[in-house]
Chain A
Amino acid sequence: SYELTQPLSVSVALGQTAKISCGGKNIGSKSVHWYQQKPGQAPVLVIYRDSNRPSGIPERISGSNSGNTATLTISRAQAGDEADYYCQVWDSSTAIVVFGGGTKLTVL
């Protein structure tokens, strides 16, 4: 089965840029989606199809995907960005959803 690997935690200084990786075999050939989950809340879709932002998601949140790694980038990090972030892929041929293990982002 396909696996996605994320770092357990990432720290970033206030106002700086955070990068959260999501590793998978040839993940660059797949569409990657990212969710933000704050404590006690449901996940929120922040990036779909590698680099697209749903309505209401700020431009300082961006995504990229190539080779064996997809990356979520949060520029000008704010205290409100502290959350768990999950990457996800979808195999449309088998209808299987795979989530990464999640990364806790801490803004210092």
Chain B
Amino acid sequence: QLQLQESGPGLVKPSETLSLTCTVSGGSIGSGTYYWGWIRQPPGKGLEYIGIIYYSGSTYYNPSLKSRVTISVDTSKNQFSLKVSSVTAADTAVYYCARHSPHYDWGRGTFDYWGQGTLVTVSS
């Protein structure tokens, strides 16, 4: 059974960089079958797409966050990561990692497996 687990600091200071890692078990990022992504949800609000990555390192970002976001992959550790720079209180959210579309069905566009999410608070 595929499982995803987010990890990283729960508290980040304003203007600093938020860093999270998603560890995948029960499946291989390096197999190249799927894309992998990040989504966030501010407390009491809706879901916001951050971006997705392929095992090769190809990335696609939400234009509204693109200037501050970097997603990377480490296939040797079966992990992918998220960095958000210059954070403000508006970046306080539960951050989810999830599995996106298979490469052979790029048009599908779903997130079918999700991690449990991790709350990141931006505060001094």
Contact = CB atoms under 8 A, between A and B. Distances in A.
Q: Is B one of A's binding partners?
A: yes
A45 B46 contact: no
Interface residues of B, number: 23
Given A92-B107, A95-B52, A100 B112 contact: no
Interface residues of A, number: 25
Q: Is the interface of B mostly helix, strand, loop or mixed?
A: loop
Contact of B46 (A33, A89, A96, A101): A101
Nearest to A44: B114
Contacts of B96: 42-43
Contacts, number: 65
A49 interface: yes
B106 A92 contact: yes
Interface of B: 37, 39, 46-49, 52, 60, 62-63, 96, 101, 106-112, 114-117
Given A96-B62, A99-B47, 20 more contacts: A1-B63, A35-B47, A35-B111, A42-B114, A42-B115, A42-B116, A49-B110, A89-B109, A90-B107, A90-B109, A92-B106, A92-B109, A96-B49, A96-B63, A97-B37, A97-B49, A97-B62, A99-B48, A100-B46, A102-B46
